[in-house]
Amino acid sequence: MTLSLGERFKPDFPMLQQLVHGKPYTYLDTAATAQKPQLVIDRMERFYATEYATVRRGVYAPCQTATQMYEAARERCRAFVNGSSVTEVIFVRGSTEGLNLIASSLGRLALKPGDEVVVTEMEHHANIVPWHMVCELTGATLKAIPITDDGELQLEALATVITDRTRIVSLTHVSNVLGTHNPIELVAKRAREVGAYVVVDGAQSSPHVDIDVQALDCDFFVCSSHKLYGPSGAGFVWGREEILRQMPPYQGGGEMIDHVSFDRVTYDEPPYRFEAGTPPIAPVIGMHAAIDYIDAIGKPAIAAWEDHLLRLATAELEQIPGLRIFGNAAHKSAVIAFVMDGVASMDIGMVLDREGIAVRVGQHCAQPLLRRLGVHATARASFGLYNTEEDVARFVEAVREAKELLA
Ligand code: PMP
């Protein structure tokens, strides 16, 4: 018997061997954070136990070795997104910090009163709030590209929302609520016409889509290790070198400087200019192992398997009267946000939890999107490479049970 992709790889994940409330743990919250394969856990443990040292700050052998590993991870991240140089990869704590770095630094470089920053109606708060903050500081204005009822960008609005006042367009590659894959190339084309920078939030796309920043024609791309089956506390920003060179530092501190005195300070070159303080060393090493892990399986295979689970679960859920799914994009990731008539999303989450099933409930850090959808909260199931058809069956069964119990 040939095993499915989920059945082959689930045993790699010790957390998924656990029982929750005495039931097998059915983890359907991978869009929030992915579980970790043993290989990544082992890599981190080995690093802490036998290789741990600071990086870029010492002449002693373990420090030099740790620095080489750290820089090897930088090269791995460059290749992961097809950047042209390692100097374009900045390590951060995750997508949120990456977007804050870009908004704060690029915003100060590029924005003045009257300028506009354009996001979309389907952004995570991490790609809204930092722009609000820099707009307040610079006198620029924040605008959003509207979405259709199916949860896709209204492409006909690009020409009117992105104008010659637009300096920066920042959008998610894949929505964490709707699963929609956005046509970055098309948006970038319009942004180029008006000379705007293009920032892509890759938190949700990087685990399933082969990323090529040259083909996307963006200027910045961010992602989080913990969504890539790696440790939390790491991620990276890829940015075009010629732009990074012009950008002011984000945070000040150790190792990002060239010269410091009480009269003046000069800064190091990118990427180090943007890496103040002791970096997340072990998480970066773990992220390297995680990227190797998913690339060895292959993202096209992962995406195809998750898509199979998405279709299976969607077809089953659509049979349940009174259940409504948000997001019906032609190209959709394995995320299902849904509500049930007369049942609070929190209650769905609690009934599922009793069955050992983990789903997210609430606003998914996307209040403007939920307002657009006309709901206060939804339940959200999301699938990862380790999920199986059995997980889908258990989930659908528990949703039916929740409806019977609560509706
Ligand atoms: N953008 C999107 C689309 C996300 O889904 C998330 C995480 N939920 C983030 C940004 C923020 O990522 P992190 O929490 O890893 O910083």
**pLDDT mean for each 10 residues of the chain (407 residues):** 95 98 98 98 98 92 97 98 98 98 98 98 98 98 98 98 98 98 98 98 98 98 98 98 98 94 96 97 98 98 98 98 97 98 96 98 96 97 98 98 91
CB of 105 within 6 A of ligand 1: the answer is: no
CA of 262 to the centre of ligand 1 (A): 38
Residues 322 and 284 grouped into a single domain: no
Residue 35 lies in a domain: no
SS3 362: strand
Residues 275 and 337 grouped into a single domain: no
What separation in angstroms does the CA of 381 have from each of 37, 195, 249, 280, 337? 20, 39, 38, 30, 6
Structure-token pair, residue 170: 């920042």
Q: Give the pLDDT of residue 57.
A: 81
Residues 124 and 198 grouped into a single domain: yes
Residue 275 lies in a domain: yes
Last residue in a domain, options 242, 262, 295: 295
Residues 145 and 223 grouped into a single domain: yes
Last residue in a domain, options 266, 295, 324: 295
Residues 216 and 287 grouped into a single domain: yes
Residue 37 lies in a domain: no
Residues 68 and 217 grouped into a single domain: yes
Residues 22 and 82 grouped into a single domain: no
Q: Give the pLDDT of residue 28.
A: 98
Among 227, 229, 364, 382, which residue has the most ligand 1 atoms within 8 Å of its CB, making it the best to mutate?
A: 227
CA of 94 to the centre of ligand 1 (A): 8
CATH number for the domain that contains residue 264:
3.40.640.10
C-alpha triplet 224, 381, 143: angle, nearest 5°: 60
Residues 290 and 169 grouped into a single domain: yes
Neighbours of 353 (CB within 10 A): 16
CATH number for the domain that contains residue 331:
3.90.1150.10
User: Which DSSP helix (H) or strand (E) runs through 38?
Assistant: helix 38-46
pTM greater than 0.75 (yes/no): yes
Residue 290 lies in a domain: yes
Residues 335 and 262 grouped into a single domain: no
Residues 165 and 314 grouped into a single domain: no
Last residue in a domain, options 295, 317, 345: 295
Using a 10 angstrom Cβ sphere, with 0-12 exposed, 13-18 middle and 19 or more buried, the burial of residue 269 is exposed
Q: Give the pLDDT of residue 1.
A: 78
Residue 36 lies in a domain: no
Q: Give the pLDDT of residue 246.
A: 98
Q: Give the pLDDT of residue 204.
A: 98
Enclosing domain of residue 141: 42-295
Please tell me the total count of domains within the chain.
2
In whole angstroms, what is the distance from residue 403 CA to residue 395 CA?
12
Cβ–Cβ < 8 Å for 227, 40: no
Active site residue 135: no
Residue 277 lies in a domain: yes
In whole angstroms, what is the distance from residue 278 CA to residue 56 CA?
9
